[in-house]
Chains A and B, each alone.
Chain A
């Protein structure tokens, strides 16, 4: 197993956020973490990334290079500073060479002359593509992707997810994805982990997990919203 999580418990202050959670992820899989707001999805990602203290076992098979797109990394934040796309890539450690930047921009479908544009002025689709290139350029073996704007059309008929899917196959990536969008889960995940605060967890392939019964248990009355999706 690439990642094995056993009896994981995470507390924030006095509050139990994650309780007795166990699951495994094999190399090259896409695991979607699903659950209502406040279920601890982002907390789980941050724990797996090593940002938060925990009890239980998190065992990575090998030391892997990790890529991470955090929740809320939006253009507004980047707009605070006049950063060109090139400047933005220069914040990486080690500094990527310009040929590499061009190559990865090409992979995500961006023209190379975009590097001279201010990152805050890109369209939101271009910005999302740029972020993916920014993550990929470090050659990660694992990517954590925390709630990107759902189904955003990033141009060329792609969504972030179909782009990630293409890249996952090409680069043999393992992907952890937090999302609310059930269509995405069906289409792109190999496995689903569901979380809710009432201690109800489920884990398995999307087809076995995402029955109306489990969804109702997971979301309660929120399920109506998803049926309309």
Chain B
């Protein structure tokens, strides 16, 4: 196995695992659509990076994080639904990007460049994934309660604003990492599909989380290897693998449990 393939696999496994885990919190109506717009916000960052010739991740992270904070601030001030705000941010992001993005060079932003990932980037991906894993684990039960009903969480003494912010920031970091693996266009799928597949075959919270992470990791490994053999882009292949797993989970949803 080549050095490059090992780095690709490690990055892919960490990114898709954490995305699958985070995705289990996002199945509620309110949240499942937020990741998409945030991922598209990566485009203006990519545009800047391409124009000025610096590493794409330096462009992606600030935009996605600022986008998350903007959504949070706007939700607090305007009380508009989060998905509505995310759509506004998304449109602004893509609109701005299309003004400046050198379209010919934009493939990396669209489908990711995980097969050319460096050792340094891999290390950063592993560290950030572990950090987000730790934060989301701390947030998990309370976030779930907020998803069920905000007032219930409030009466239990949960600081909803703070939890929403930390949650959005976690999504932002995972989305920015996802741009590496599958590109900005389909990062949302990295978060949404494993959780949906896991829900098909899970009766309780523990198996739901475990399956989502497992499905995420399997689709990354499968996607990376299949793409290598058939010489197709890796990012989209990861998503296609994930979609296939979803179909399988759909077929088995009654028989298994």
Contact B149 A82 (CB under 8 A): no
Instruction: Please measure, in the bound complex, the distance between the C-alpha atom of A51 and the C-alpha atom of B160, giving whole angstroms.
Output: 12
Given contacts A70-B149, A70-B151, A118-B203, is CB(A82)–CB(B157) below 8 Å?
Answer: no
Q: How large is the interface on B (under 10, 10 to 19, 20 to 34, 35 or more residues)?
A: 20 to 34
- Interface membership of A208, Cβ < 8 A: no
Instruction: Please measure, in the bound complex, the distance between the C-alpha atom of A90 and the C-alpha atom of B142, giving whole angstroms.
Output: 10
- Interface membership of A8, Cβ < 8 A: no
Instruction: Please measure, in the bound complex, the distance between the C-alpha atom of A114 and the C-alpha atom of B147, giving whole angstroms.
Output: 23
In the bound complex, residues from chain A placing their C-beta under 8 Å from that of B147 are 80-81
Chain A window 31-60, contacts with chain B (Cβ cutoff 8 Å), 1 for yes, 0 for no: 000000000000000100101000000000
Contact B149 A73 (CB under 8 A): yes
- Interface membership of B145, Cβ < 8 A: yes
Contact A83 B205 (CB under 8 A): yes
In the bound complex, residues from chain B placing their C-beta under 8 Å from that of A87 are 204-206
Closest chain-B Cβ to A118's Cβ sits at a distance in Å of 5
Instruction: Please measure, in the bound complex, the distance between the C-alpha atom of A83 and the C-alpha atom of B140, giving whole angstroms.
Output: 13
- Interface membership of B162, Cβ < 8 A: no
Chain A window 94-117, contacts with chain B (Cβ cutoff 8 Å), 1 for yes, 0 for no: 000000000000000000000010
- Interface membership of A77, Cβ < 8 A: yes
- Interface membership of A190, Cβ < 8 A: no
Given contacts A49-B155, A66-B155, A93-B157, is CB(A80)–CB(B205) below 8 Å?
Answer: no
Instruction: Please measure, in the bound complex, the distance between the C-alpha atom of A32 and the C-alpha atom of B155, giving whole angstroms.
Output: 21
In the bound complex, residues from chain B placing their C-beta under 8 Å from that of A93 are 141-142, 156-158
Contact B148 A82 (CB under 8 A): no
- Interface membership of B152, Cβ < 8 A: yes
Contact B205 A81 (CB under 8 A): yes
CB closest residue in chain B, given A144: B155
- Interface membership of B221, Cβ < 8 A: no
Contact B28 A80 (CB under 8 A): yes
Contact A82 B155 (CB under 8 A): no
Q: Is the interface of B mostly helix, strand, loop or mixed?
A: helix
Number of A-B residue pairs, CB cutoff 8 Å, is 71
- Interface membership of B254, Cβ < 8 A: no
Instruction: Please measure, in the bound complex, the distance between the C-alpha atom of A20 and the C-alpha atom of B46, giving whole angstroms.
Output: 58
- Interface membership of B187, Cβ < 8 A: no
- Interface membership of B135, Cβ < 8 A: no
Contact A81 B28 (CB under 8 A): yes
Chain B window 22-43, contacts with chain A (Cβ cutoff 8 Å), 1 for yes, 0 for no: 0010011100000000000000
Closest chain-B Cβ to A92's Cβ sits at a distance in Å of 7
Number of interface residues of A (CB under 8 A): 24
Closest chain-A Cβ to B197's Cβ sits at a distance in Å of 12
Residue in A91, A92, A118 whose CB lies within 8 Å of B204: A118
- Interface membership of A68, Cβ < 8 A: yes
Given contacts A84-B203, A92-B156, is CB(A77)–CB(B141) below 8 Å?
Answer: no
- Interface membership of B202, Cβ < 8 A: yes
Instruction: Please measure, in the bound complex, the distance between the C-alpha atom of A7 and the C-alpha atom of B206, giving whole angstroms.
Output: 49
Instruction: Please measure, in the bound complex, the distance between the C-alpha atom of A84 and the C-alpha atom of B144, giving whole angstroms.
Output: 13
Chain B window 140-184, contacts with chain A (Cβ cutoff 8 Å), 1 for yes, 0 for no: 011011011101101111100000000000000000000000000
- Interface membership of A25, Cβ < 8 A: no
Closest chain-B Cβ to A136's Cβ sits at a distance in Å of 14
Contact B204 A82 (CB under 8 A): yes
Contact A73 B148 (CB under 8 A): yes
Instruction: Please measure, in the bound complex, the distance between the C-alpha atom of A68 and the C-alpha atom of B156, giving whole angstroms.
Output: 10
- Of residues 109 through 142 on chain B, the ones whose CB sits less than 8 Å from some CB of chain A are 141-142
Given contacts A66-B155, A91-B148, A92-B156, is CB(A86)–CB(B204) below 8 Å?
Answer: yes
Chain B window 189-220, contacts with chain A (Cβ cutoff 8 Å), 1 for yes, 0 for no: 00000000001001111111000000000000
Could you list 8 examples of A-B contacts with CB < 8 Å?
A80-B27, A81-B28, A81-B144, A82-B204, A82-B205, A83-B205, A86-B204, A92-B156
